[in-house]
Structure 1
Amino acid sequence: MRCRLRRCAARRRAAPPAARGHGPAGAVDRRGRGVLRRRRHVLPAPRCADGGLRSQPRRGGAQRAQGQPTGAAHRAPAGGRLVNAHRQPLLQVLRAAHVRLGLAAVIAAGIVLTLLSLLTLRTYVEQNLQLVARSIAYTVEPATVFDDRAAATETLALIAAQENLLSAQVARRDGSPLARYQRDGKATHDAALTHLGTLLFPLRAAAPVVHQGTNFAEVTVQGNGDVYLLYLLKVVAAVAGCMAVIGWWVSRLSRRIESEIVEPLNSLASLTRTARTERSLGLRAPPARVHEIHNLGEDFNALLAEIQAREAELVAKHDDLKVANESLSYLAYHDSLTGLPNRASFLQHAARAVITGRGQGSNAAMLYIDSDSFKSINDSLGHAAGDDVLIETARRIRALLRESDVVARLGGDEFAVLLAPIRGAEDATRIAEEIATALRAPVTSSRFGAIDTSASIGVAVFPRHGHTAQALLVAADAAMYRAKTSQPGSYCVFDSELDTESDAHLA
């Protein structure tokens, strides 16, 4: 402002006296200097050659029309360089646009993959916990039915530790706990991870313990979110790594001419959408002329192949786990040598038969079978001969029974037979006689020839000789002991008076 005032004063001094405000008589305009001092912010309007005022355009309009920024008229040479510095080359603009578009697409794909991974993992966690709860319910069913707290706690702790559960509980129908499990030794970071895992995954599942159509208890499990959360973090890290790699390739592809880039990228994007929406993991990106786009397509193909292999691996592991669970379930309730049910399975069948007989008023019988010469066969011919005798004994007994009857190997050379239902004790004695006769025939072995053997049988009838499966088994065992001591190879029906000595011996 002061510079403009000084230039104005200099022009007034250089002007003729008339122009400086002197009249014809040379009188001085006394207002000039005083007005100038009082109105230093008012600039004098430029004058034309004839002394008239020249109109001055408004600042900014003409300058904007000429492409100059407002207020830069007195810096025209520098202003030209400044305008050129703000304008970017077309290649740089296209590259920046490609980079922004690529980053947006990569981030969107990463979010979609992360969400899909989270949803898939949530589904897997929910199904796995439900399967574990059902497995526990199936395993603790006998202990729940007999209200065996120790067996239920032991079974629950074993399965919960194997499945890495945080807690598990078996509650009776009235809500009182039968067995509990709680993992010990949680660290601070474990607690934080567990809390975060609880927010992301459904970590609770429940399954009823059903026996004969009746709900005896309910199993509640709480999973460990640490494992699933760590797996999710690995997936997020892998997605972030893929996003970084894809972003770098996009920046390289932006250096190409757009006509050479758009079509391959559109083809790859279409393939990505098809693979993601239709789960067509067998699709592959075709070769491209541009080296970078070709590498990007190969990486994408490798990623699809890895995902496809991972899914196939997960399916194979699931099938193997299912087969292993079925095998373990079979081994838990069957004898490996003869293929017959074991003691635990036999007692379950017997308990169900007792409950059915008590409700319907029907009879049942239990036969306790013990070999008379098994020890001598093992000592003289060896355990291989004993195995042949056991296998043939199981086959002969099974051949004489109905489909509804149950024969089991209790252990060693001891077998048990459950006959349910029967009309009376005469049915049980008839079957016992047939089994004793069949077992008196020599066993023909391809390695040891004919092996002489026999078995003693004890008979107990429900409900006359016992009201529970365990009581019937004890009574049949006592009757078998009397048959073995009196006449090996025969059978005896339980008699409370005659088998008192046998009961004392068994106790």
Structure 2
Amino acid sequence: MEKQRRSPPLNKVLAGVHRRLVLIAVSLASLALLTGSTMAMHEYLDRNLHLIAGTVAYTVEPAIIFQDMEAARDGTVSVASNEIVDRLIVVDPSGRELVNFEKPNESFLPRTVIEFANNLLWPQPVRQSITHNGRIVGEVYAFGSAVSIVYFLLSGLLITLCCVGIALLASTMLARKLRAGVTDPLSHAVEVARSVRVERAFDRRVPAPGIAEVDDFVEDFNALLSEMHGWYTGLTEQNEQLTRKAMHDTLTGLGNRALFDQQLGIAIAKADQSEGCFAVLFLDGDGFKQINDSHGHTAGDAVLMELASRLRGCIRKVDGAYRLGGDEFAIILASPVSKPEIDYIVERISEAMEPEIETPSGALVRISMSVGFSLYPDDGRASGELMQKADEAMYNHKSRKRNDDYAYSH
């Protein structure tokens, strides 16, 4: 007993050792969580920045073709007004700036700090070519904004400091319960932080051990996880929205050519596995140019939206309709489908086009559709073969209609 009195008390020795262990464990756990979360945020922000650049390129392409710079800027601002975009430039093939959009600094951070963080995370802008009929007509340069990541790091560091203070206090006051009440929860926190960094398991939480101070630390640690979970969910939803914008036509809401190409490849793969068959329909409006010339582009847009709505009503829920450009549309009739079913759907489309369409000015116009289709695998097993056969069939249908109209007029 006397030797024990002459020696330093065990609780003081443990308290000193445990304070250092707690400091290291909390620091490592926080560093791992912040590092992993920041990497995840940067990954999603970078992906969204690529999607924004692609969306801007798709949005401003008609405006550049028609030299409508006001429309190009409006299209750029509507897409680029996003917290992850710092600056967005649209140039023509010669390098001349057509649109230069820079987001105003609305944060409390100095502009020099923001620029340093932007250059650190995105040393080079995201570039996206603007093409029209296979020809490059411009280029989009998207510069990322690191404001959201800086905000998160600042809040994360503040919470980390609070966690460190609480953990040190708990280690001093609860030396006897250190192993069960502090060391184990912190080890669990490190394991959760590693799981978040490696597996993106933002829904995991550290259970409270039943000691007030450590419970406070766990609560703050879980609060940080909850905040990160919210960031992760928000970025995922934003990514899905941007993906939808990049894969759908902004006027009609139908899938665009990129989505059509993707779904056609998927349909071929599924048909190969199940030995089924599906059909590809190409559709082209008859006389759409005359409507545009006579009634204006506003009327043309209204006609396109009505055509898209009527096409949706003619197909099954499992089928997909797409706008390839202008008044060109495509439909993928999912497997299984037979020749009589295809003929029936084509007839439904023809009947759906008969009613007149009222334009915004009140004028009534009528438009028909030339339709051609190809059947997988009878007309080919490659996407190019199917598209070529459907395109040829569509133009044959258009030629027959012209000949019939000519014969009727004479």
Instruction: Quote the offset at 1:128 in angstroms.
Output: 2.3
| Aligned partner letter, 2:166 | V
Asked if structure 2 preserves the Cα contact closer than 8 Å seen for 1:422 and 1:428, the reply is no
Alignment partners' CA distance in 1, 2:203 and 2:192: 8
Identity among equivalent positions (%) equals 17
Q: In the alignment, which residue of structure 2 is the partner of 1:428?
A: 402
- How has the CA–CA distance of structure 1 residues 326 and 140 changed in structure 2, closer, same or farther, with 3 Å as cutoff? same
Contact 1:140/1:152 (8 A) holds in 2:
yes
Which residue pairs with 1:156 in the alignment?
76
Task: Give matches, 1:135-150, under 5 Å.
Answer: 135-150=55-70
Provide Cα deviations, 1:426-456, integer angstroms capped at 9, x if missing partner.
Answer: 62374799xxxxxxxxxxxxxxxxxxxxxxx
TM-score normalized by structure 1?
0.47
Aligned to 2:350: 400
Aligned partner of 2:23 in structure 1 is 103
Is the contact made by 1:408 and 1:417 (CA closer than 8 Å) also made in structure 2? Answer: no
Do 1:149 and 1:178's aligned partners in 2 also have CA atoms closer than 8 Å? yes
| Contact 1:249–1:296 (Cα < 8 Å) also in 2 | yes
Question: Is the aligned partner of 1:209 residue 2:209?
Answer: no
Q: How far apart are the structure 1 equivalents of 2:112 and 2:102?
A: 17
Residue from 273, 278, 285 that aligns with 2:190: 273
Paired residues for 1:12-411 under 5 Å: 88-163=8-83, 165-183=85-103, 189-202=109-122, 204-254=125-175, 256=176, 260-279=177-196, 291-292=210-211, 296=214, 300=218, 303-304=221-222, 307=225, 310-311=228-229, 314-315=232-233, 318-319=236-237, 322-323=240-241, 326=244, 332-334=250-252, 365-366=286-287, 399-400=349-350, 411=360
How far, CA to CA, are the matches of 2:186 and 2:107 in structure 1? 45
Q: CA RMSD in A?
A: 4.9
Match of 1:307, as an amino acid?
L
- Structure 2 CA distance for partners of 1:264 and 1:130, relative to 1, 3 Å: same
Q: For 1:364 and 1:329, how far apart are their aligned partners in 2?
A: 22
Q: How far did residue 275 of structure 1 move? A: 1.8
Taking structure 2 as the reference length, the TM-score comes to 0.56
**1:45-88 superposed Cα distances (whole Å, 9 cap, x missing partner):** xxxxxxxxxxxxxxxxxxxxxxxxxxxxxxxxxxxxxxxxx985
In the aligned structure 1, how far is the partner of 2:157 from the partner of 2:208? 29
Asked which structure has the greater CA Rg, the reply is 1
Cα distance in 2 for residues equivalent to 1:188 and 1:284: 32
Which structure carries more relative contact order (alpha carbon 8 Å, separation 6+)?
2
**Which one-letter code corresponds to 1:151 in the other structure?**
A
The Cα of 1:219 is off from its aligned counterpart by: 0.7
Corresponding position of 2:378: none
C-alpha change, 1:408 and 1:193, in structure 2 (3 Å) is farther
Residues 365 and 422 of structure 1 are in contact (CA less than 8 Å); yes or no, is this contact kept in structure 2?
no
**Alpha-carbon contact 2:87-2:142 (below 8 Å) kept:** yes
- Taking the aligned partners of 2:234 and 2:25, their CA distance within structure 1 comes to 34
Once the 2 structures are TM-superposed, how far is the Cα of residue 331 of structure 1 from its aligned partner?
7.9
CA contact (8 A) 1:144 1:216 kept: yes
3-state SS of the aligned residue for 1:174? coil
Distance in 2 between residues matched to 1:328 and 1:112, nearest whole Å: 34
**Counterpart secondary structure, 2:81:** helix
Q: Deviations over 1:23-50 (max 9, x none)?
A: xxxxxxxxxxxxxxxxxxxxxxxxxxxx
Q: Tell me, what secondary structure is at the counterpart of 2:214? A: helix
**Secondary structure, aligned partner of 1:222:** strand
Give the 3-state SS of the residue equivalent to 1:140 in structure 2.
Answer: helix
* Residues in 1 aligned to 2:230 and 2:44: alpha-carbon distance in whole angstroms: 15
Which residue identity does 1:222 align to in structure 2?
Answer: F
The verdict on how the C-alpha distance between 1:415 and 1:180 changes in structure 2, with shifts beyond 3 A counting, is farther
Unaligned runs of 5+ in 2: 1-5, 257-283, 292-305, 315-345, 371-393
* Runs of 5+ unmatched residues, structure 1: 1-85, 342-362, 371-386, 434-490, 494-507
Give the whole-Å Cα distance in 1 for the aligned partners of 2:203 and 2:247.
37
CA distance in 2: counterparts of 1:401 and 1:221, whole angstroms = 46
- Structure 1, residues 131-186: CA drift from partner, whole Å, max 9, x if none? 21111112112223444333222212333335574321122233333332234678
